[in-house]
């Protein structure tokens, strides 16, 4: 599925939401996530599709 953002501001907002959610994810895991880019990507694609978000 293609995920499209209509502006740089919209993409930046999506990255901020992913960053906040990822911070919670790392807090629950109790460690840094070395593969954070994959987690961000999954979060952003899932959010755009209206699907369940990763935790």
Give per-residue pLDDT as tens, 12-49: 999 999 999 999 999 999 999 999 999 999 999 999 99
Nearest to 48, CA basis, from 19, 8, 10: 10
DSSP state of 35: T
Calculate the average pLDDT of the chain. 96
pTM of the predicted model as reported, rounded to 2 decimal places: 0.90
């Amino acid at each position: 599925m293609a995920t499209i953002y209509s502006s740089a501001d919209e993409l930046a907002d999506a990255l901020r939401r992913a960053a906040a959610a990822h911070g919670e994810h790392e807090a629950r895991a109790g460690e840094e996530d070395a593969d954070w880019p994959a987690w961000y990507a999954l979060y952003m694609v899932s959010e755009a599709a209206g699907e369940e978000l990763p935790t």
